[in-house]
Structure formats: structure tokens, C-alpha cells
Amino acid sequence: MLEPMTSVGFITNPNHGQHSVEGHPESPQRLEATLSLLKECGLLDRLQQIEPRNAADEELARVHPAAYVAALRRRCEEGGGWADPDTYLLPGSFAAALAAAGSCMEATDAVLSGRVDAALCAVRPPGHHARPGQAMGFCLLNNIALAAAHARSRHGLERIAIVDFDVHHGNGSQDAFYDDGGVLYVSTHQFPFYPGSGQAGETGAADGEGTNVNIPLPGNCGDEQYAAAFERVVGPVVRRYRPQLILVSAGFDAHFADPLAGMSLTTAGYGELTRRLVALANELCDGRIVAILEGGYDLVALPWSVRTVIETLLREEPTPDPLGTLTPERPPEIGGLLEELRRIHSVS
């Protein structure tokens, strides 16, 4: 077992409930169920609570054009509507998104200043689909892209890795840094699937050529396939990049119980992916790692997966979850895909 960390930070945005449409899968119940489990098991009391805050306009401008931010704020103030068929806006939605983004920056500050060793941001609305000038896929502001930009601007970091294990490709995060070699973006995602981006050949442009790494996995991949992807591709490309901070788009909708996708990861599988990322952070950047909640829509799988990630950040053996294990029937063969990705990205 790994030695315990000194502290793990935890932050949430208490105004997230202002962003809610009845029957929509991206609902306040996601965080309510998660917080309930963390309180019930006593884990929440063992974490260093970080005070949430709102993002400032000048911070948002590092990723999102001022005209987009102003239009989003105005539309919410005028009553909201739908940014796309999946993404709703209400009068309180902009305030919730502002607090989610600001809280992720605050958690990043806490890690980079040494107040905590690692942090988990249980915030909503999620962010990795939000493009610089477009809300989509349940996302209004790109929380993790803003955290990365903040780490560069406020703390002077030159190399940041974003590892995204949400079941959907983080097209907004990719777009934010596609031509920027200062951020490595690595994504494991179901493909073909929403939002349609994330092909292996999308490797970056200009100064960002080679720093965009997509691992488009076929449906029904489980713990074994994800572990292989991390062993054969994620680990080597992150290690070669030598980031000064690892940010994790922690989406839990690749869980076999999730209703919105077709993957077969287990809660224990998420623990293993987190363990590998913690080991990389320890090796490369003094253990500095911040996990930011993205998707995850089953109200049992999501809380237990978050609990598992926190226990792993604390260097503890994760508590077995009530959903148990799953061995996919006819799991896909991905060896050829991983070898092709190693070739594309010159992994020896």
C-alpha cells in the first residue's frame, strides 16, 4: 500500500442546485447523492475543505472570449433556454457555472501552493464539452481548461497534462489547447459516440502538434482494456511530456451501470486508473494532481466511484462497492489500436 498523503482537498459549489431541469440526467441529485455517501462513510470529514469562489471575467477570458461570456450571462439573466438540444440554461445557471469554474481554480491554487497534496472538485455543471465560444453537451464553461490556464497564468507553469477518462471525448478541452504545446491533452473515450470528435489522427496543430492524444475505444471496454490503454499509451506519453501538474477530467459515465453510454468499467477500475495517475504525479510533478468531476449519471455508480477516487488519492485501499465487478461478454480486442497509437505518437 502507498504511504498516506498529508492532505487531500475537497471543494464543491453550493449553488449548483440553481441549475436544474426536472428529468434531465445532469441534475443536482448527482452531487447530492455523492455528498450523502461521503458524509455517511465519514470520508468528507477527513478531507481538507476548500472554500468555493466565483471565477472572475479576466480569468474566464483565458479560455472563453468576452463576447461569449457576456452572451451566456445575458441569456441566463433573461430567463435561459436551450444552448443545444442537450444543454439547458436557467436564470441561475450562469452563477452555478461561475462558481464551478472558480472552485476548480481555487483547488488548483491549493495544490500548487502546497496547502493540500491533491484535490477533488465535485462541481457542476460539468465543463469538458464547452468550447471556447460554445456551450454544449451539458457544459457551459470549461472548468478544467480554465484550471489549466489559471495554473499557467497565476503560477507560471509551462507544462500541464489533462487526462480525461470521461466516456465522451472532451472536445472543448481539445479545442482550447489544440495548437498549444503548453498543455498535453490525453483522452480515453468511447468512439464513435457523442460528440463525434476524438479520432486518433487529431494530434494537435502548430505548437501543439503531438500534444493532443486521443484513444478512441470501441464500446464494451472494461477494466482490462482501460488498464491496457493507460499502460501502453497514457503513461508513456504523460511521462515523456513531464508535466508540472496533472489535471483529471474525472467522468464516471464509462461505468457499466451508467445509462448514457456503453462501456463496462467498474468502480474498482476507476480506482486503478486513479492509482496509475497518482503514481505518474508522484514520479513527475511532486504528486500534484487535481481531479475535476465531469459526467456520471447513475446515482449509485457515481458516488461510489468518487469515493473510490478519493480513497485512492488518500493512498488507501478502496472500499468494495455494492455494484460489484463485471467481466464484459465478448470484450473488444484493442491491441492493434494501441499499437497504432504508439506508432502515431512515437512511443517506443
Residues acting as catalytic residues: 129
From CA 295, how far away is CA 165, in angstroms rounded? 10
**What span, in angstroms and rounded, lies between the C-alpha atoms of 111 and 270?**
22
**E strands along 278-327, which residues?**
289-293
- Distance from the first to the final alpha carbon of the chain: 30
The order of strands in the sheet holding 183-190 is 48-49, 8-12, 118-122, 289-293, 245-250, 160-164, 183-190, 212-217
Q: In 3D, which of 11, 1, 208 has the Cα closest to residue 108?
A: 11
Residue 244: C-alpha distances to residues 133, 157, 241, 323 (Å): 28, 7, 9, 36
Residue 195: which residues within 8 A CB-CB, separation 6 or more?
Answer: 129, 136, 137, 168, 169, 171
Query: Residue 27 in contact with residue 20, Cβ under 8 Å?
Result: yes
Separation between Cα atoms, residue 197 and residue 192, nearest integer Å: 8
Q: Which residue has 504523460 as its cell numbers?
A: 238
CB atoms within 10 A of CB 56: 12
